[in-house]
């Protein structure tokens, strides 16, 4: 009898969990770099820190919405690309957005870049996501278009996936945007508006 009650209890919990998630869109934000991999650095500003800060602002916008935002990392940890892909596959999300920040030897280079991979198994859905992001971001920022590349993450994730390079740390205007509360919130809002 006790065994039956335990099994029944587990089934009830599973049913409750599935009911709570019905209709919810799962979005994974892959937060670039982390731990020993700082990404680009400019006068003490680290790409790995800024991507995490912006991701957290996107997640805060999803409260009370039908979008559940999960992170590939939520602290300053190094996670290999292979482990990121495995983890994302275990979640089987509706969308994946990988956040990065660029840099260039020419300090005039600026703007957002959006990348997709033609080798991604959901390339048409990835294109649609990229165009939605381009439309939303371009209302506030310079967007240099959607480009095709074969980054490891983009070609190996079996879900619609894009990478966004959110401006250039090497550019003064972009740097001010990326490091200010106002700028980070504006970026987060534009990304969230594209996926909601």
Question: In this structure, what DSSP letter does residue 179 have?
Answer: H
Neighbours of 92 (CB within 10 A): 10
Q: 113: part of which helix (H) or strand (E)? A: strand 112-116
- Predicted local distance difference test score (pLDDT) of residue 12: 37
Tokens matching residue 94: 């509706």
- Predicted local distance difference test score (pLDDT) of residue 94: 98
Q: Are strands 95-102 and 161-168 parallel, antiparallel or unpaired?
A: parallel
Predicted TM-score (pTM) of this structure: 0.88
Q: What are 95's strand-pairing partners?
A: 27
Neighbours of 7 (CB within 10 A): 10
- Predicted local distance difference test score (pLDDT) of residue 22: 66
- Predicted local distance difference test score (pLDDT) of residue 21: 61
Distances (CA, A) of 24 to 27, 34, 56, 93, 100: 10, 28, 19, 10, 26
Instruction: Please answer whether residues 160 and 128 qualify as being in contact, where contact means their C-beta atoms are separated by less than 8 angstroms.
Output: yes
- Predicted local distance difference test score (pLDDT) of residue 182: 98
Q: What are 102's strand-pairing partners?
A: 168
24-195 CATH fold: Aminopeptidase (3.40.630)
Q: Which of 86, 75, 159, 84 is nearest to 125 (CA)?
A: 159
d(CA 99, CA 167): 11
CA 19 from centre of chain: 26
- Predicted local distance difference test score (pLDDT) of residue 23: 78
Instruction: Please answer whether residues 106 and 76 qualify as being in contact, where contact means their C-beta atoms are separated by less than 8 angstroms.
Output: no
- Predicted local distance difference test score (pLDDT) of residue 13: 36
Per-run averaged pLDDT (10 residues), the chain, 196 residues:
41 37 89 98 98 99 96 97 98 98 98 99 98 98 98 98 99 98 99 97
């Amino acid at each position: 009898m006790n065994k039956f009650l335990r099994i029944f209890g587990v089934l009830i919990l599973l049913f409750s969990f599935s009911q709570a998630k019905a209709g919810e869109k799962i979005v994974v934000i892959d937060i670039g770099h982390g731990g020993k991999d700082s990404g680009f650095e400019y006068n003490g500003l680290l790409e790995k820190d800024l991507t995490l800060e912006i991701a957290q602002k996107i997640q805060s916008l999803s409260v009370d919405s039908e979008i559940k935002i999960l992170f590939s990392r939520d602290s300053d940890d190094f996670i290999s690309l292979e482990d990121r892909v495995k983890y994302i596959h275990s979640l089987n999300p509706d969308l994946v957005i990988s956040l990065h920040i660029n840099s260039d030897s020419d300090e005039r280079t600026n703007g957002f870049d959006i990348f997709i991979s033609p080798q991604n198994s959901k390339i048409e859905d990835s294109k649609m996501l990229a165009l939605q992001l381009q439309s939303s971001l371009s209302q506030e920022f310079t967007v240099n278009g959607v480009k095709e590349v074969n980054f490891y993450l983009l070609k190996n994730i079996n879900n619609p996936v894009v990478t966004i390079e959110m401006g250039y740390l090497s550019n003064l205007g972009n740097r001010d945007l990326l490091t200010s509360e106002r700028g980070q919130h504006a970026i987060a809002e534009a990304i969230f508006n594209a996926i909601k």
